Structure 1
Amino acid sequence: MPKTQDTVIVEAVATRPILEQIANKWSVLILTVVCSEPARFNAIKRRLEGITHKALTEALRRLERNGLVSRRVITSSPIAVEYSLTALGHSLREPFSALYAWAVQHQGEVQTAQVAFDQHKLANYKD
């Protein structure tokens, strides 16, 4: 039986908490860093300009809690922690690649729309 518009909306709303977890400011970028190979905390931090220690820690914990990355303690001297994608995390590669390709393809259009909106808003709200 085909889904009704109401069913689709209910399902979309139900996925919101998950989407908020994986599509926030840093998660997609962190997943991109550990996509091809495991990485240590400081290596991830160096690759993500502007992320704070606290923000990276919180994002990695959230990704680990959601089953997208795994954390492995390396008992060397000094002790290190390495993060890698889980099978569930790897399953995001295709949708993220599609989203990235869309963003690259339409970046100019989005920027043009933003400029047009800002100019229209500025022209209509002058006192």
Structure 2
Amino acid sequence: MSQRNTDVSAQLNALTGCAPDAVTPFTPGQARACTVREVLDRVGGKWSIGILVAASQGPVRFTELERQIEGISRRMLTLTLRNLERDGLLERRVHPTVPPKVEYTATPIALELYESLVALTSWAERHRGAIAAARQTYDREHTTP
């Protein structure tokens, strides 16, 4: 790991209170702080943002999410939905029909997060061209001929 990555990791550990390795014991406050990192990892995950934005619009079915979220596999959608439900961000409702109808709805805490997620996705949309150009410039400057 580079010195810069080590510094960033140390800063994140200091901010979250997470121990730098598995050997160092956690105090109760540190365990709670690490949960903050886990929550940020979950809601900032590759697929979570799209799912939460979709579910914040109202009840959404598995197949609707599968169609809306480009590139997600059925397995990854299932795992992400399960994790978001476990974290209290989604509510899963099974309707007693044949076949069973399953809908996912954003919980109040997910709805509170919604504006931030929309702002983040809007930012990404506005700046994706600039980021793509910066990557091309970087790659051109750092590629050996």
Letter in 2 for 1:65: R
Q: Which runs of 5+ in 1 are unaligned?
A: 1-5
Alpha-carbon separation, structure 1, partners of 2:103 and 2:112? 20
Alpha-carbon distance change, 78 to 68 in structure 1, aligned in 2, over 3 angstroms: same
Contact 2:92 2:105 survives alignment (8 Å): yes
Higher relative contact order (CA 8 A, sep 6+): 1
* Count of aligned positions: 119
Letter in 2 for 1:57: T
Q: CA RMSD in A?
A: 2.1
From 23, 27, 32, the equivalent of 2:44 is 23
TM-score (norm 2): 0.73
Letter in 1 for 2:109: L
Question: Identity rate of aligned residues, in percent?
Answer: 35
- Partner of residue 3, structure 1: none
From 2, 10, 20, the equivalent of 2:15 is 10
Alpha-carbon separation, structure 2, partners of 1:49 and 1:111? 19
TM-score (norm 1): 0.82
Kindly provide the CA deviation profile for residues 62-100 of structure 1, in whole angstroms up to 9, marking residues without a partner as x.
Answer: 000111100001001221111000001101111112212
Q: Which runs of 5+ in 2 are unaligned?
A: 1-10, 19-32
Alpha-carbon distance change, 106 to 49 in structure 1, aligned in 2, over 3 angstroms: closer
Alpha-carbon distance change, 94 to 44 in structure 1, aligned in 2, over 3 angstroms: same
SS at match of 1:91: helix
Write the mapping of 1:61-100 to structure 2, written as runs, cut at 5 A.
61-100=82-121
Alpha-carbon separation, structure 1, partners of 2:128 and 2:12? 32
